[in-house]
Amino acid sequence: MMSSEPGKTKFQIDLRRHLRSQNIDDNLVHLICEISEASKYVINAVRTGDLGVAGTSNLYGEEQLALDVLSDRIMRKRLVKSGVVCNIASEEMDEIYQVTSDSDGLYSVAYDPLDGSSLVDVNLAVGTIVSIFAGCDLLQEGRKQVAAMYILYGPRVSLVYSVGNGVHEFTMNQLMEFTLSREDVRMHPAGNIYSPGGLRNKYNEGDEKFIRYLEAKGAKLRYSGGFVPDINQVLMKGKGIFIYPALNGSPNGKLRLLFELNPMAYLIEQAGGAASNGHVPILDLKPESLDQRAPIYIGCTEDVSKAMEYLNG
Ligand code: AHM
Ligand code: MG
């Protein structure tokens, strides 16, 4: 433990100092710091950049916004220059970008540079999501991640990371430095908020019954349509569940295993929560392709178990 409550710290603990206390190698410290530096340019792009379309599409055939393309470029450039990365995969790139084939002491990174980008024009919160593996293989089970993190661009900018030793939150200060705001974030066993993605009239019967159960027990609906702020709410309040289930016509839901689900599942598990695709933990899924999607139920362990009961009962 390095600090106490926000506002009660005698001195500010910055991200690099905190990372150095985690017993991880210097290259990983450097990599996470480089990503945090890149996020400062992404937030600048979000705040002031062009809101139009880029005229290109990503590997899902979705139209890319100028901000998607710019954020992707910012992230990739920084990762390439970091000197500690061999392979890079992005939700906005068709293929793996190989920086070097020499994996010795290096890391591979999968990221969504600007998740929820279609919300920027209505000024809702968005974020960058990052998954890190040791070596060059990006198609590994999420449980093998050595680190996961996100940066949330909301009224404040926060950065949440784990390297397998709990989950820690940093907030950007007036000097654009990330300083520790919450250490070892823990989730309660059960929650009182729910965040349901997708069209409810396309839910299957089990998911519909689960939502009715949540409503009947008085859980509050909290869904912004941005995965990062929605997960951040569940994680930081420590209470609740986010679901993006299979939909009629979309049996794997919408969200992507490599770029969105694995890193969030890692963080939520590290905080004492759970994440499942309805049958097995998200972190045990072996990805077969970069663009793999999966349904997700993620949050407090008892809520996720209850969802499984309705889904499989
Ligand atoms: P994106 O990666 O194209 O931005 O899409 C992901 C977003 C998530 O932020 C969010 O959870 C989800 O799409 C919302 O989808 P829906 O509008 O179908 O509920
Ligand atoms: Mg996304």
Q: What is the pLDDT of residues 11-25, one digit of tens each?
A: 689 999 999 999 999
Q: Is the CB of 198 under 6 A from ligand 1?
A: yes
pLDDT > 50? residue 4: no
| Tens digit of each residue's pLDDT (9 = 90 or more) over 37-55 | 999 999 999 999 888 888 8
Token code pair at residue 70: 């710019």
- Which is nearest to 49 in space by CA: 33, 69, 30? 69
Where exactly does CATH 3.30.540.10 map onto the chain?
Answer: 15-182
Residue nearest to atom 11 of ligand 1 (CA): 227
Q: Is the CB of 197 under 6 A from ligand 1?
A: yes
State the CATH class of domain 193-312: alpha beta
Q: Tell me, in angstroms, the distance from the centre of ligand 1 to residue 5's CA.
A: 33
pLDDT of 268 over the 80 cut: yes
Q: What is the pLDDT of residue 280?
A: 97
Mutate to test the pocket of ligand 1, among 115, 203, 260 (most ligand atoms within 8 A of CB): 115
Taking the model in full, what pTM does it have? 0.95
The residue whose CA has the least distance to atom 2 of ligand 1 is 115
The pLDDT value recorded for residue 57 is 83
Q: What is the pLDDT of the chain when averaged over all its residues?
A: 95
State which H helix or E strand residue 132 sits in. Answer: strand 126-134
Q: Provide the pLDDT confidence category of residue 6 given band limits of 50, 70 and 90.
A: low
Tell me: domain 15-182, CATH 3.30.540.10, correct? yes
* Ligand 1 proximity of 161 Cβ (cutoff 6 Å): no
- Beta 220-221 vs 193-196: how paired, if at all? parallel
DSSP 250-302: BTT-S-BIIIIIHHHHHHHHHTT-EEESSSSBGGG----STT-B--EEEE-HH
pLDDT tens digits along 165-190: 999 999 999 999 999 999 999 999 99
Tell whether the model's pLDDT for residue 9 goes beyond 90. Answer: no
Considering only CA atoms, give the Rg of the chain. 18
The residue whose CB lies within 8 Å of the most ligand 1 atoms, and thus the one to mutate among 255, 256, 261, is: 255
pLDDT digits (tens, 9 = 90+) for 230-241: 999 999 999 999
